[in-house]
Each structure stands twice: as structure tokens, then as C-alpha cells.
Amino acid sequence: MNKELAADFAWGIGIVVLALASTYARRLGYIEGDTVTRIVMCAIGLMVAWSGNRMPKRFVPSAWARQATRVAGWSMALSGLIYAALWVFAPTQVAVVGGSSVVILGILVTISYCLSLRNKAKTRPTP
């Protein structure tokens, strides 16, 4: 199994374990149900940020592809951190709408940048 796949599995298993442990703590009366939701959603936001941070570090053959990967990395890392922060500090309704919106915005920034690079590629050769 390659290193990246193992890390992805570790994140997935970690979030499931965190969710189960949080649920158990709720059943024992240590935390409330809302706290369980916030803990798990924050962990998901941190996973998105971690994945976004990893993107630019992977090998990409062309200069434009590396640029697109850097933009994708930054947009997803930032949107993941904002998503996590919203789930920690904002009211639940704001976290749901704002968190989803910020991740969608990160995806749209990446797609828009890739489309702009594709248009540039049609007018001039690869750097």
C-alpha cells in the first residue's frame, strides 16, 4: 500500500474512532449531542485542509499543472480550516451553511483557475 493511501485510510479510521468515542462520551453524559457533531465536523474540516495542503507537494509534470495544483492546495486548505473553525465557534445553522459554502467556494476557485489555464494553453505553449 502506498504512503498516500495509508494516510487517507488513517484519516478515515481516525474520524470514525473519534465519532464513536464522542458518541460514547455523550452516552456517559460527559458531552452533549451538539458537541459530538461539532467535534466530528471539525475533524472533517481539518482533513480537507490537510488534503489541500498535501496537493502541491505531489509530483506534477507540467508547470501549468503545478500552478493549478498549488491553487487547489491553497483553496482547499483554507476552505477546510474555515470549515473547521465554523464548526467549532459558529452556531450550528451558520456552520452548516457557511461551512458547505466555503468548501464549495474552494472547489469553484480551483475549477475556475483550471479553466483559465486551459484557455491560456490554447493561446500559447506550455511554460
Q: Measured between alpha carbons, how far is residue 81 from residues 5, 28, 74, 97 in Å?
A: 22, 30, 11, 15
CB 83 within 8 A of CB 107: no
Q: Look at residue 41 in the predicted model and tell me its pLDDT.
A: 94
70-126 pLDDT, tens digit per residue, is 888 899 899 999 999 999 999 999 999 999 999 999 989 988 888 887 787 777 665
Rounded distance between C-alpha atoms, residue 25 and residue 34, angstroms: 12
pLDDT of residue 35: 94
Domain holding 106, by residue range, is 3-123
Please determine, for residue 127, whether its predicted confidence score (pLDDT) is greater than 80.
no
Looking at the predicted structure, is the pLDDT value of residue 57 above 70? no
The count of domains in the chain is: 1
Task: For residues 70 and 113, give the distance between their C-alpha atoms in angstroms, rounded to a whole number.
Answer: 11
- Determine the Cα–Cα distance for residues 90 and 75; give it in Å rounded to an integer: 21
Res 68: pLDDT: 81
Per-residue confidence (pLDDT) for residue 113, from 0 to 100: 87
Q: Which amino acid, 8?
A: D
pLDDT value, residue 56: 60
CA separation for the pair 127, 118 (Å, rounded): 13
